[in-house]
């Protein structure tokens, strides 16, 4: 909500992707007709208005059943201090002009809108020492429950957390205001003897801003922030989603494409230790991610219409993909030594070679399809 009229505007409304973390696996609230759970957030500081509406509700006295306590379920995830009536909320909205982003400004960029104007965005790094940030973060993290499938709230008293925030700058009655766009949390793990390994824990761009490139801007800014630190070994992510992996592929390829070790001539010679070393030292990218970057850039440098080049690329990628299958073969060799014949037959059925070749080809084709999408996006960037 930026203006009072946004409260009645369906265009500014978005629905949760998930509700199982609040309402159970069936995502059902029992005992209501026409139930609406309404959560409004002021665009900048995320002050919250919470209301429940329904046309009718079962009654324990007459229906002998009790309706779910929807309110207490929501109260478990939104911090106390929220509004329950619209007038209080609108009076808070008037003070929004005083809200400023937390922490240190890292990056400013603009996005060209269809209406023809450029909208400015800024990325900040914050921590719990910033006045008011702890309370703001409590409100911000409530979005995780609705948009990340396995979300959990983090221990903000642990000083190893870093917070990166994206804000939109907008004008209201001649003043410059800020709207929350999304954020990322990163945990700094210790690596013996004197390094840290930042690990991306949670990343969310709010639905009204998705598909505009903010995730890529945020991830690249975070990489650039850590790249300048001599104590950072490399950057990784905790249990990344499919969408995050695609985003990371794009950002890392964009960062790596100008490194000398990824020149077309060197790409055609195969994956090298030089690539691993340069990507880690200059861009804080680990070996596994560097290998994906190499494969994407090698695909770009390969003429897939040329039988020899195409075959060389396919074999190179499949040699990496076959790793898990070779591991199964080694496990099978161990089984031969210690299992009875009937047990071994059972295991052999699970490791059918023809099926392995089919799965390998399927994995390769899927990978090439994903890589092409990255390259298409790169060409448009």
Active site residues: 238
Residue that has been written with the tokens 């639905």 in this structure: 207
Residue pair 332/349 in contact (Cβ under 8 Å)? The answer is no
Residue 95: name the closest of 130, 45, 48 by CA. Answer: 45
Integer-rounded Cα Rg, in Å, for the chain is 26
For the record, the structure tokens of 336 come out as 């031969």
For the record, the structure tokens of 108 come out as 């400013």
Helix, strand, coil percent content, the chain, rounded in steps of 5: 50, 20, 30
Residue 379: name the closest of 236, 257, 246 by CA. Answer: 257
Q: For residue 339, what is the DSSP state?
A: S
Residue 46: name the closest of 138, 161, 131, 123 by CA. Answer: 138
Residue 35: name the closest of 84, 77, 68, 83 by CA. Answer: 68
Backbone CA torsion sign across 93, 95, 96, 97: positive
CA torsion, ordered 11, 17, 20, 25, to nearest 10 deg:
120
Strands 195-205 and 236-237: parallel
CA torsion, ordered 292, 297, 300, 301, to nearest 10 deg:
-130
E strand residue ranges, 87-232:
104-112, 118-126, 161-172, 175-191, 195-205
Residue pair 108/89 in contact (Cβ under 8 Å)? The answer is no
For the record, the structure tokens of 250 come out as 């794009």
In order of 29, 91, 136, the CA distances from 131 in angstroms are: 38, 22, 10
């Amino acid at each position: 909500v930026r203006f009072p009229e946004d409260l009645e505007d369906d265009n500014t409304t978005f629905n949760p992707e998930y509700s199982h973390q609040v309402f159970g696996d069936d995502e059902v609230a029992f005992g209501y007709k026409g139930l609406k759970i309404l959560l409004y957030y002021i665009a900048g500081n995320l002050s919250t208005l919470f209301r429940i509406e329904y046309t009718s509700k079962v009654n324990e006295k007459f229906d002998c059943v009790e309706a779910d306590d929807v309110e207490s379920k929501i109260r478990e995830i939104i911090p106390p201090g929220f509004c329950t009536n619209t007038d209080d909320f609108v009076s808070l909205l008037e003070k929004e002009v005083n809200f400023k982003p937390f922490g240190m400004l890292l990056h400013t960029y603009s996005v060209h809108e269809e209406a023809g104007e450029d909208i400015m965005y800024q990325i900040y790094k914050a921590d719990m020492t910033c006045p008011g940030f702890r309370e703001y973060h409590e409100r911000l993290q409530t979005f995780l429950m609705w948009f990340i499938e396995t979300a959990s709230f983090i221990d903000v008293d642990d000083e190893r957390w870093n917070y990166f925030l994206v804000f939109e700058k907008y004008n209201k009655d001649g003043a410059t205001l800020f709207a929350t766009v999304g954020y990322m949390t990163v945990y700094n793990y210790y690596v013996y003897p004197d390094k840290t390994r930042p690990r991306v824990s949670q990343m969310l761009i709010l639905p009204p801003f998705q598909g505009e490139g903010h995730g890529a801007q945020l991830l690249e800014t975070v990489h650039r922030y850590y790249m300048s630190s001599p104590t950072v070994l490399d950057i990784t992510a905790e249990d990344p989603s499919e969408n995050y992996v695609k985003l990371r592929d794009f950002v890392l390829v964009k960062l790596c494409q100008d490194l000398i070790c990824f020149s077309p001539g060197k790409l055609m010679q195969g994956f090298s230790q030089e690539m691993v070393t340069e990507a880690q030292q200059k861009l804080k990218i680990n070996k596994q991610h560097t290998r994906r970057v190499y494969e994407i850039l090698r695909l770009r440098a390969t003429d897939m219409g040329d039988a020899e080049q195409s075959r060389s690329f396919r074999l190179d990628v499949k040699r990496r993909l076959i790793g898990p299958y070779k591991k199964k073969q080694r496990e099978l060799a161990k089984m031969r030594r210690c299992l009875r014949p009937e047990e071994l037959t059972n295991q052999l059925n699970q490791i059918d070679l023809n099926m392995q070749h089919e799965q390998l080809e399927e994995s390769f084709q899927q990978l090439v399809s994903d890589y092409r999408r990255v390259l298409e996006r790169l060409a448009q960037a």
